[in-house]
Amino acid sequence: MHVCMIVPDGAVKGGIASVVNGYRGSSLEKRYRVTYIESYRNGSRWDKFRKALQGYAAFLRLLGKDRPDLVHIHSSFGPSFYRKMPFIYLSRLAAIPVVNHIHGAEFDRFYERASAAKKRRVRRVYRKCTRFIVLSEEWKEKIAQIVPADRIDVIENYCALPGKRDHVERRKNQILFLGALEERKGCYDIPVIFESVKKKCPDARLVMAGDGQMEQIKEAFRKKNLLSDVAFTGWVRGREKEKLLAQSAVFLFPSYNEGMPMAVLEAMGCGLGIVTTTVGGIPQLITHKKSGFLEAPGDLGAMAEDVGALLQDGELCRSMGELAGKTVEQKYSLKIHLQKLEETYRKACLKK
């Protein structure tokens, strides 16, 4: 079967690109003939617009010369929704089933708080899709406001970090944040949390790995006289990211809105002690006080207590990290993810 997958450029920062990059060279390409069409890249508005136009042109050529049996679209909310509309309409005009793989996290802004006209547009576009993939049961309930629940499959993200890594000594006092440096990820809460942690653990160090609102967040640390104990690495990937995960003891992720973050899965796979929030699919991943700590978003005091407990009690940090790692191996491997994906493909093609 020929699958056309609409994806971002492989160098794009973020979870969607991480998910798709794991497909390349995997067993999926052995079982299906996969054509990747890139429709998004980082850069200026003109760079993004030109990339989208190139993607539409490549898709039209494919329809004319080597028509796929199924189109798998990786989408989010906001501008991503509008960029993917032409692919959805063209696929349906060609009577090709469409699987819409939704990675977005801000459904309230995208749909629940949208105007009546925008809601009608979203419903019209989504109802042209054959099946949907969402990242958690919570997101299935949200998307079921728009399309029938029996057309929605839950396929969680996965951890595909290599099992064997170069030996790196874990730094027992190092806390890691990994992701976009922005308000939605709780980055402006981290200076407050870290300030409390430092009172109990004066030797604690923090690594902020990501980019975005870097200067504003640096200023928040500077105002608290904490900047000398914080390293900003910029966006990391590949071996650099693996090294940071292997070096760190605690993973702090105080996000306010998520689907199923790849960063949390990767931290679990690397056996870190995890402190995060009860949003999106995260509660499916972490069992509170067993494989990590889950707190309400914005509960900075509780998160500071959790981070301090993990830094002060090495055995607690190790045991929670081990259980988190086993959870990933048993439930969130790439193999299991691809098995579920193939089942969605089968159901989508039955609807042709």
* Mean pLDDT of all residues belonging to the chain: 93
More confident residue, 108 or 57: 57
Query: Is the predicted pLDDT of residue 169 greater than 90, yes or no?
Result: no
Terminal Cα-to-Cα distance of the chain (whole angstroms): 14
Report the percent of the chain where pLDDT is more than 70: 97
Chain segment 194-217, per-residue pLDDT in tens: 999 999 999 999 999 999 999 999
Given pLDDT bands bounded at 50, 70 and 90, which one contains residue 54?
Answer: very high
Chain segment 297-312, per-residue pLDDT in tens: 999 999 999 999 999 9
Q: Give the pLDDT confidence score for residue 166 in this predicted structure.
A: 47
- What is the bridge-based pairing of β-strands 152-154 and 131-134? parallel
